[in-house]
Structure 1
Amino acid sequence: MSAKRKLTIGILAHVDAGKTSLTECLLHQAGATKAQGSVDKGSAITDGLALEKSRGISIKAASVNFSWKQTQFQLVDTPGHIDFAAEVDRSLSILDAVILVVSAKEGVQAHTLNLWENLKERNLPVIIFFNKIDRDGVFPEQVFNDFQKELGAKLFALNLPDLSDSQQIQVMPFEACRNHTDHAILDSSLENLAECDEAFLEKYLEGNIGEMSTILAQALPHIQNGSLHPVLFGSAKLGLGIYELLDQLEKLISTPQNYFCNPAAKVFKVEFHDKLGRLAYIKSYGGLLKTKDSIPSQEMGKEIKINQIFKAEAGGLEQVAELNQGEIGLITTSDIILAGDILGNEKLADSYSKISNAVLAVEVKAVEDKDYQKLGEALEILNLEDPILDFKWFKEDREFHIKILGPIQTEVLKDSLSQRWEIEAEFLPPKVIYKETPAQSAEGFVRYWMPKPCWAIMTFMIEPGEAGSGVNFENKVRTSDISQKYINEVKRAIPWTLKQGLHGYEVTDIKITLIKGEEHNVHSNPGDFLLATPMGIMRGLENAGTDLLEPMYAFEIKAHQDYLGSVSSDLSQMRATLESPLFDGEFFILKGRVAVAEAMDYAIQFSATTSGKGRLKLSLDGYEKTTLTEEKIRPYKGVSPLDESQWILHMRGAFKADERMMG
């Protein structure tokens, strides 16, 4: 086993902050690449997709290894565009620390706020890299102060930018800044340290702060416990601050302790390779994983066999025989492994809130009818790579439906289908994904006893649940009336029963109680209760009626006061609820809530209204009841349990409908 410790570092940023360029600099500085890759030239190591090269943006998370001093780094470059935030969510779950890249020119942007909130929740160590200090019109003091003010963070600068000569931009290491302690950035950093450290506070108040190296040593424990957040200024374009960033990653990030004795791993990404087929990116959290080993999949509920193991090096994939704890690798297996799966028996599930929430649905169609089957198979592969798509293939209706995060994602999917499979596809305009909830309490009765042999009789009480409560089931029937093995089938049927309600949407905020029922000691079998449960619950929903719930955005806007009137007018037309604006110098900050249906295209409108100079942050903020109109109703896909005779035939296999209704 290598003597070097292993750290998994993620690079996160708002789109176009220079994240992938910084990754290429780190790889080159560390000696992992002979020539530095370029996003503009399409030669970036971590932008492997043709789409990424042509568009100049990261679409998929990419992992690559390099060494620096006594540490083996596993660097994960993530997409910066909000439409690909699901890739960021999956990557965050396996990181030991993060480099948060912020453009010194644009400052704190909308997605920076999303990322910061998620990083704080996870309590991940963060080094902030203010990039692009070589750009015209950069004011380092302002971006430093804005970050502190807007994100509520105490920053500590580990170097100082010197922009006095535009032809010779430099960065000074902290230890060399003894004559610059009155600089606004250093003064603020020292003040932040004084607030965290009583011993330093006394010296600070006396004006006797001592040697810079001593101050740095005093700051170190406060950086490591998260009281202070370290900052480096630099330019990926000019290679400034890169060596210092590598050194600080080595010094500041502690070795993780969250490992187990037994084999355990987390699958954070799945992709298809031209020659190797399906590859699963995993991080090992336990004992040695070797080729030909078998390990339990918690998602599939069975053992899977590891056929091959690879590591991602700067020169490409390198086959290895084993994977040690803390290491990232790629495995091949005969089973259909999914992103988010946990391998082994340890508890590694990620319970943190997500940046990505899909609230838009689109239908995908093949331009040429001959590509219908091929398109379905391609979308199944894309769904394995990105489960947030939640792909549904309704074979009776010959329809493909997916969920998306935004319009850029559909453009990329369209390009991907064309380039990878030579399929021309069209994406119909996105529609909002509503939810349903019972309008009142009602009973649902089902008696399934013909044609024999079968017997399942049940009465369900359907009630509205508290907002945000999800689905709750309670059984009040004695085991002498219905055995526990049959109750287990009832529980198993509930999640897919509620995938479509009366108006075609998932049912939530519902309480289901089994209040009466009986089995037959000869004729009953588990399949009877699995078949009957949807009929009883849907009958109860029909009797109760359902209200429609629409997804809501919370928004936060920052722009110049000149735009306040026009922005407020736009929001009023969208029937948004607004808080009173706050004023910060020449800028206003406006918060409120608006329906997703109203704000689907608002980002484009907002950019036009503010000439691209405002900041708009939208985040999913629960659901609210809305009026039911004809255009919001979706037809039921597949066979409805309310059509009882057809449902029984379908479930008994007399004819086949969409098997995903059983998924």
Structure 2
Amino acid sequence: MHSHDHLNLGVLAHVDAGKTSLTERLLHAAGLLDEPGSVDAGTTRTDSLDLERRRGITIKAAVVSFPLGDRTVNLVDTPGHPDFIAEVERVLAVLDGAVLVVSAVEGVQPQTRVLLRTLRRLGIPTLLFVNKIDRRGARELLGELRARLDPAVVALGVPDGAGTPGARFLPYAPDEPAHTEALAEVLTARDDALLGAYLDGGLSPARLRGELRRAVASARVHPVLYGSALTGAGIAELRAALAELLPVARGGAEAPLSASVFKIERGPGGERRAYARLHAGTLAVRERVPYGADGRSAVLTGLDVFADGGPVPAREARAGQIALVHGLPGLRIGDRIGAGPADDAACATYSATAFAPPSLSSVVVPEERRDALALWPALSELAEQDPLIGLRRDPAREEISVSLYGEVQKEVIATTLLEEYGVRAGFRVSRPLCVERVRGEGGAVEVGERDGNPFLATIGLRVRPRTPGTGTVFRLGIELGSLPPAFLKAIEETVGTVLGEGLRGWPVVDCEVTLVRSGYWPRQSHSHAVFDKSMSSTAGDFRLLTPLVLMTALRAAGTVVEEPVHHFRLEVPAEAYGAVLPLLGRLGAVPGAPRAAGGTYTVEGEIPAAHVHELGRLLPGPSRGEGVLETEFAAHRPVRGPVPERSRTDADPLRREEYLLRVVRGVPVDGRR
């Protein structure tokens, strides 16, 4: 297909800085749009991507491509909400470079700062585009960018006539003294060898430009350009800077295949389509490829690569490209495709962020009876596309709940349900998603047909805690071969299910369950050789007995309920710190000692996940709108105060008589079957 270079580019911004208008303008400049959308008087809500409805170009559907010199740029749409950076990171991890848009009128905003910090942490080369220079009140912002965003920014020119409709961008000539001086200052600040060369006899403009390219590629320095997406000012210069300063995709097409899935959607016919970024190797149609965590493989039935606007069918995709992949069943967001090295930098973000657990849960409430019927199938389909949406059904209360990373996810899920499935639904107040940790060691045995055990099965289980974060394992403490494989599988699968609801109804984490005893009744037959199920063990006997044994063992070991806690980092103006502190205390946060720097206090600490959203909501008051908050999941800590319980979704093995009535005789409990 295309053998030339690819640049996977993200355009990011604080809401309303002009992300969509800039995207339209870039597509127009590349000849893909007849005219940029009339963004009337610059007042459009930029992140609503009305571009799609007017033009049928699927930016929202993740990728639109355009030619730029001898390279193809894949413009990857990034989620607009970095409050929950884990979700954004999956998309950021596929980028080779980014344009961070800042409004010349509003200046640096909290979200701008969170975004740049994340881009730097992931090492993504980033250009800054100061948009809206034609608007009244537009400013040059360079000092503010240095002070509030990053000292390592360097302007590639100046705005001329800022604040007037005719404003334009005047790029510096390569040898303009003011420019070479500023470049030398920023570049030598972190490079002693370069500083030495500079002091010895100066650096030529060509050498400075080369060093700038290297510094941008390693995300150490950020060039600043000015313009207006509305009038088109500065767009040609931005395109030139993208071509010159941002590195193209790395990774060899000959290396072993390694790709990562960052988005899954339904096509017009309801078929699933997965977006995958190729880090190395080549992906070819009709070849069998391994994918997913569980070692599955399937034949690739088709793929599209991006060229001249949208996806075009191709026989293969190579390292650096983004492909739409067809025919790999069960593919999920965050999955890897290929057997290439998993520890390459490109995939590191996935493994790191894919497993921060969701820390909240909320009940989804359908608006009408009609919505209630369609809700479960619609949510199931969404959960299948995105492993971050954990679903739980409580038949007793007839409730469906989802696990969440943050409140914004509620808006996203509600909007998706309405737009894609026509289902109207709201959410109840979020609750923290707790876990149960095993306290000590405990064991239990049930012998078949003795002591009230009606099953033809004997099971002994031992439970003990493991180090936090190491997961749960099932081990065999019996002789291999002493139990038929089907029965063993029945026990192991049931153990996994039962641990989903511990003594207080929360998932049990990080424990070891060992099968220490087993017994079964071999196939019995009457004299006329008819198999008699009532005299022989079945897998069902083991499935139904396991919950009783495991819960008795858990009760003997004891569990502690732990709630999710987030690490927070908060920046506030020094004079507002005294007002913010009581707020932290009221929300159960445990702050460390503050660090002062240039009129700003930075404080880090831990806060219960249940109060993160509230902190974000209340912070603007005492911090006068200047507070910048970043949070991420840290750990689970024992709950302080009353221990929360969660209702069970199954026949309750903790209530033996009721459980046996339900599973053995099928007797309905509370009117349920």
State the TM bucket, normalised to the shorter chain: 0.7 to 0.9
Structure 2 residue 220 is matched with structure 1 residue 228: yes
Q: Indicate the residue corresponding to 2:243 in structure 1.
A: 250
The amino acid across from 1:503 in the alignment is R
Structure 2 residue 570 is matched with structure 1 residue 557: yes
TM-fit CA distance, 1:548: 1.6
Q: Distance in 1 between matches of 2:115 and 2:367?
A: 38
Q: Mark the CA change 1:210 to 1:419 in structure 2 (over 3 Å): closer, same or farther.
A: closer
Q: Indicate the residue corresponding to 2:176 in structure 1.
A: 178
Q: Distance in 1 between matches of 2:72 and 2:550?
A: 55
Q: Indicate the residue corresponding to 2:10 in structure 1.
A: 10
Alignment of 1:59-458 (within 5 A): 62-82=62-82, 85=85, 87-103=87-103, 109-112=109-112, 114-116=114-116, 118-120=118-120, 122-132=122-132, 136-148=138-150, 155=152, 157=154, 159-162=156-159, 166-167=163-164, 169-173=167-171, 175-176=173-174, 178-181=176-179, 187=182, 189-205=183-199, 208-224=201-217, 226=218, 228-237=220-229, 238-251=231-244, 252-257=246-251, 259=253, 265-275=259-269, 277-284=271-278, 285-290=280-285, 295-298=289-292, 302-304=296-298, 306-311=300-305, 317-320=311-314, 322-333=316-327, 335-348=329-342, 350-353=350-353, 358-395=358-395, 397-447=397-447, 454-458=456-460
Secondary structure in structure 2 of the residue aligned to 1:351: helix
Q: Is the 8 A contact 1:494 1:534 kept in 2?
A: yes
Q: Distance in 1 between matches of 2:480 and 2:456?
A: 19
Q: Indicate the residue corresponding to 1:583 in structure 2.
A: 596
TM-fit CA distance, 1:76: 0.4
Q: Is the 8 A contact 1:104 1:140 kept in 2?
A: no
Percent of matched pairs sharing the same residue: 25
Equivalent position to 1:592, from 605, 628, 637: 605
Q: Indicate the residue corresponding to 2:511 in structure 1.
A: 511
Secondary structure in structure 2 of the residue aligned to 1:270: strand
Q: Mark the CA change 1:471 to 1:219 in structure 2 (over 3 Å): closer, same or farther.
A: same
Q: Mark the CA change 1:293 to 1:166 in structure 2 (over 3 Å): closer, same or farther.
A: same
Q: Distance in 2 between matches of 1:406 and 1:259?
A: 39
Note the residue ranges of structure 1 that are not aligned, 5 or more in a row: 150-154, 658-663
TM-fit CA distance, 1:71: 0.8
Q: Is the 8 A contact 1:83 1:405 kept in 2?
A: no
Note the residue ranges of structure 2 that are not aligned, 5 or more in a row: 523-535
Q: Is the 8 A contact 2:169 2:227 kept in 1?
A: no
Q: Is the 8 A contact 1:104 1:143 kept in 2?
A: no
Structure 2 residue 461 is matched with structure 1 residue 459: yes
Q: Distance in 1 between matches of 2:446 and 2:377?
A: 37
Q: Mark the CA change 1:219 to 1:198 in structure 2 (over 3 Å): closer, same or farther.
A: farther
TM-fit CA distance, 1:561: 3.7
Q: Is the 8 A contact 1:156 1:193 kept in 2?
A: no
Q: Is the 8 A contact 1:46 1:63 kept in 2?
A: no
TM-fit CA distance, 1:399: 1.9
With normalisation by structure 2, the TM-score equals 0.81
Alpha-carbon deviations, 1:238-289, whole Å to 9, x = none?
Answer: 5454434433433341441155556664332111233454322233453342
Q: Distance in 2 between matches of 1:295 and 1:363?
A: 38
CA RMSD in angstroms comes to 4.1
Deviates more, 1:99-108 or 1:613-622: 99-108
Size of the aligned set, in residue pairs, is 638
The amino acid across from 1:281 in the alignment is Y
Q: Distance in 2 between matches of 1:156 and 1:600?
A: 32
Q: Is the 8 A contact 1:460 1:516 kept in 2?
A: yes
Deviates more, 1:322-331 or 1:426-435: 322-331
Q: Mark the CA change 1:566 to 1:540 in structure 2 (over 3 Å): closer, same or farther.
A: same
The amino acid across from 1:575 in the alignment is G
With normalisation by structure 1, the TM-score equals 0.82
Secondary structure in structure 1 of the residue aligned to 2:651: coil
Q: Distance in 2 between matches of 1:527 and 1:287?
A: 46
Q: Distance in 2 between matches of 1:529 and 1:556?
A: 49
Q: Mark the CA change 1:596 to 1:4 in structure 2 (over 3 Å): closer, same or farther.
A: same
Q: Mark the CA change 1:118 to 1:351 in structure 2 (over 3 Å): closer, same or farther.
A: farther
TM-fit CA distance, 1:625: 0.9
The amino acid across from 2:223 in the alignment is V
Alpha-carbon deviations, 1:109-130, whole Å to 9, x = none?
Answer: 5545554555455444444445
Alpha-carbon deviations, 1:270-311, whole Å to 9, x = none?
Answer: 112334543222334533422x66544435755545555444
The amino acid across from 1:418 in the alignment is L
Deviates more, 1:171-180 or 1:548-557: 171-180
Q: Is the 8 A contact 1:160 1:174 kept in 2?
A: yes
Q: Distance in 2 between matches of 1:527 and 1:38?
A: 65
TM-fit CA distance, 1:588: 3.0
Q: Distance in 1 between matches of 2:160 and 2:660?
A: 76
Q: Mark the CA change 1:505 to 1:317 in structure 2 (over 3 Å): closer, same or farther.
A: same
Q: Distance in 1 between matches of 2:219 and 2:275?
A: 33
Secondary structure in structure 2 of the residue aligned to 1:136: coil
Q: Distance in 1 between matches of 2:68 and 2:388?
A: 36
Deviates more, 1:34-43 or 1:210-219: 34-43
Deviates more, 1:238-247 or 1:449-458: 449-458
TM-fit CA distance, 1:12: 3.5
The amino acid across from 1:622 in the alignment is A
TM-fit CA distance, 1:136: 3.0
TM-fit CA distance, 1:46: 9.2
Secondary structure in structure 1 of the residue aligned to 2:352: coil
